Amino acid sequence: MIRIAVTGAAGRMGKTNIEAIQAAEGVELGAAIVEASSSLIGADAGEVAGVGKLGVAIVGSLAEAINDFDVLIDFTTPESTLANLALCAESGKAIVIGTTGLTDAERAELNGYGTKMPVVFASNMSVGVNLCFKLLAEAAKALGDDYDVEIIEAHHHHKVDSPSGTALSMGEAVAGALGRDLNECAVYGREGQVGARTQKEIGFATIRAGDVVGDHTVLFANEGERIEITHKASSRMTFAKGAVRAAGWLAGKANGVYDMQDVLSLRD
């Protein structure tokens, strides 16, 4: 059995990850971690997650549980993720990262750990979203520069980063297929007299409202037609199932930074 640790175990995503672990074969919950100030330290992680008693007590730091797991699933903040990466690297552990909002420098630091440990890092763990990445690249190659590209995403009002990591990954998939640098062609929102749209820009529009789990649409538009590729998530379980699948796949892999395209064998 592959032992999985979950950070943020008392949060929405953490509890869903624990539920997904319990439903999967070949894995088990080895550790559950919360902030050191949490009142839930010592509680049974399964009871907190609503899946019944598991005999795994919640702890207040990753270091306390370092001998209790093989792979860590981390959906936290960039600062916490980088600290957890360092500790896992020192201890010979693998890690699955679903944290978004990392800066270019933080992503570079994350990628540097690929020489020390196996890592799966993805902006979205959903199988459907990762299939969309591949479809988007194929669509962009076929349509070329004649089609305007706009990306619209919606999430719940608690989400702190914008655009979403998934939206940015979709933009990267399209830009890469078209031979563009997303850092140079992305336009994040428009207001006032901005002038006519340039041919090669990729626009982003962001919605934050209610309890939207995650909606993403990439629009390819030309004179006379529109093509839309859309993914809508109605439950966080879709991300949790993907993360658990990635954890099972990652165990025993060689050092390196992988993504869900590797996990799902979607790489060309």
For residue 105, the tally of other CB atoms under 10 A from its CB is 9
- 3 closest CA partner among 78, 54, 75: 54
**For residues 151 and 170, is the Cβ–Cβ distance under 8 A?**
yes
CA distances from 127 to 23, 181, 196, 255, 262 (A): 17, 26, 37, 23, 12
Catalytic residue among 15, 93, 155, 241: 155
- Beta strand spans in 136-236 (E): 148-155, 186-188, 202-208, 214-222, 225-233
Reading the block at residue 224, the tokens are 């006379």
Catalytic residue among 116, 134, 159, 200: 159
Q: What is the dihedral of CA 195, 197, 202, 208, to 10 degrees?
A: 60
Catalytic status, residue 159? yes
- Beta strand spans in the chain (E): 2-7, 27-33, 58-59, 71-74, 94-97, 118-121, 148-155, 186-188, 202-208, 214-222, 225-233, 256-258
Tokens 């550790």 — which residue?
31
Query: 3-class SS at 105?
Result: helix
Active site residues: 155, 159
